[in-house]
């Protein structure tokens, strides 16, 4: 077996033996999840928990205001954001938004890969949200969340690569594992985090661009089109996907000539936050 597959074997063996370390949710996400499971949880209590992470609080307000832009009053604080989004959507969004912290911590050797994947995830999330609002049958906030977590399977792989650099001979070793094992690992992570099935299965399904399914468009369709229409979609290997043959376009009622960056509201909810000062509970 060629040397360049050594890292692939390492990850595959860790998976088979249930030894691959999956990322734990950040503290704010764990606390919010715990609170939402209580029968007596209140919006002020949940807001106080979210406010402990100012960056996540500010992002949550942004997301709620992107929903407000489609109808409703402007959201000024975390309590109003939670009231608008609901407890379950708040829980899921806090998990997705807190993932950013995980992609910002890494050794110098992995930092650029982590940053690249997160920046791609932000771009896909922005496109998916705008596309869902345009398309009309899917929840734009859920679509944004799907974009943020669609590549989560890369995280455990990159962490293992950090800890076992001797197993990597070529940079392509890492790409091979991310492409081939990342989707399965991503679904494992989201199931461990108690994400709903429609999102938990997404990492395994979105790379299947020939996928056909019964019924209306789903979040997998959104992520596929958002990725292919993004700047990331112009790079390898996505530039080799024949757009005209991707069923997701038909499901969503759009064409490969659509400019996703010109859709109303593109990027609003996942644009970088300059300050979290307004994220008061």
Q: Could you read off the pLDDT of 176-228 as tens digits, one per residue? A: 999 999 999 999 999 999 999 999 999 999 999 999 999 999 999 999 999 99
Q: Tell me the per-residue pLDDT of 10-58, one tens digit each, with 9 for 90 and over.
A: 999 999 999 999 998 889 999 999 999 898 999 999 999 999 999 889 9
Are 258 and 229 in contact, with CB atoms under 8 Å apart?
Answer: yes
Q: Tell me the per-residue pLDDT of 124-145, one tens digit each, with 9 for 90 and over.
A: 999 999 999 998 889 998 999 9
Please state, in angstroms and rounded to a whole number, the distance separating the CA atoms of residues 48 and 52.
7
Burial bucket for residue 280 (CB in 10 Å: 0-12, 13-18, 19+): middle
Average pLDDT, the chain: 88
Secondary structure of residue 165 in the 3-state scheme: helix
- Output the pLDDT for position 108: 67
pLDDT of 76 > 60? The answer is: yes
Q: Which band of pLDDT confidence, cut at 50, 70 and 90, is reported for residue 276?
A: very low
Helices 78-85 and 43-51 pack at an angle, to 10 degrees, of: 120
Please state, in angstroms and rounded to a whole number, the distance separating the CA atoms of residues 83 and 63.
12
- Output the pLDDT for position 270: 64
Domain annotation for the chain: domains and CATH numbers: 3-262 (1.10.3210.10)
Q: Number of H helices and number of E strands within the chain?
A: 14, 0
Are 68 and 83 in contact, with CB atoms under 8 Å apart?
Answer: no
Burial bucket for residue 241 (CB in 10 Å: 0-12, 13-18, 19+): middle
- Output the pLDDT for position 68: 58
The CA-based dihedral angle spanning residues 1, 117, 204, 194, taken in that order and rounded to the nearest 10 degrees: 120
Average pLDDT on 88-109 reads 84
């Amino acid at each position: 077996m060629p040397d360049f597959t050594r890292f692939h074997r390492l990850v595959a063996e860790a998976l088979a033996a249930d030894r691959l370390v999956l990322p734990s949710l950040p503290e704010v996400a764990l606390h919010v999840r715990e609170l939402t499971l209580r029968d007596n949880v209140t919006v002020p209590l949940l807001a106080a928990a979210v406010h402990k992470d100012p960056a996540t609080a500010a992002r949550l307000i942004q997301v709620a205001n992107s929903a407000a832009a489609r109808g409703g009053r402007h959201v000024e604080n975390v309590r109003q954001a939670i009231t608008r989004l609901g407890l379950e959507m708040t829980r899921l969004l806090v998990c997705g938004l807190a993932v950013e912290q995980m992609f910002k911590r890494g050794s110098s050797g992995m930092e650029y890969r982590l940053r690249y994947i997160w920046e791609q995830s932000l771009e896909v999330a922005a496109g998916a949200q705008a596309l869902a609002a345009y398309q009309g049958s899917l929840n734009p906030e859920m679509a944004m969340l799907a974009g943020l977590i669609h590549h989560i399977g890369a995280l455990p792989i990159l962490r293992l690569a950090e800890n076992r650099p001797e197993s990597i001979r070529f940079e392509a070793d890492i790409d091979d594992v991310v492409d081939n094992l990342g989707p399965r690992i991503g679904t494992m992570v989201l199931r461990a985090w108690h994400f709903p099935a429609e999102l938990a299965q997404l990492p395994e399904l979105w790379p299947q661009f020939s996928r056909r399914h019964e019924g209306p468009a789903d979040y997998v369709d959104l992520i596929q089109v958002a990725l292919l229409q993004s700047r990331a979609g112009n790079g390898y290997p996505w530039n080799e996907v024949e757009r005209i043959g991707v069923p997701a376009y038909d499901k969503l009622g759009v064409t490969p000539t659509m400019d996703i960056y010109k859709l109303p509201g593109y990027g609003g909810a996942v644009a970088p936050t300059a300050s979290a000062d307004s994220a008061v509970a």
